[in-house]
Amino acid sequence: MVKKGSGRSMKGGGKSRMNRDHRRVSQRGIVKGRWDDICAAELQSDAIIQGRSQAQVIAEKMALDADKPGLGQFYCVACCKYCVNQKALDDHNQTAKHRRRLKMLLTEKPYSQAE
């Protein structure tokens, strides 16, 4: 005899949990593909947009810090991300997500309250 509610019973048992999961797909919230859209405002307000040059930001962010990955020496300004070593930073710079964020920062005009 199979337990009730497992979805495979001899007599009745109602709907199983397996038949209900497809309705919960839309309730899952933020998915990986939408994260770039959600973080767009934060990335737009980063130091490049605020008028400081990329070299100034990198010099400020690359101060030795034992709490950050790679002692804080490998930083991507566009993604606000620290990498463990130079190879990891180079691999990150070749990803589509990095190129997309860099293009967004350099081309799109940030939204302002005046608009």
Domain segments of the chain: what residues? Answer: 36-107
Residue matched to tokens 């397996």: 18
Task: Measure Cα distances from 79 to 1, 26, 41 in Å.
Answer: 56, 28, 12
Q: For the chain, first and last CA: distance in Å? A: 67
Beta strand segments in the chain, E: 75-76, 81-82
Question: Global pTM?
Answer: 0.51
- Give the per-residue pLDDT at 102: 85
% of the chain residues with pLDDT over 70: 46
Could you tell me which CATH number the domain at 36-107 has?
3.30.160
Crossing angle of helices 96-107 and 35-44, in 10° steps, is 40
Residue with tokens 């008028």: 51
Q: 66-112 pLDDT, tens per residue?
A: 888 888 888 888 888 889 999 999 999 999 989 988 888 778 776 66
Tokens for 45, please give them. Answer: 């307000």
| C-alpha separations of 78 from 55, 85, 104 in Å | 12, 17, 9
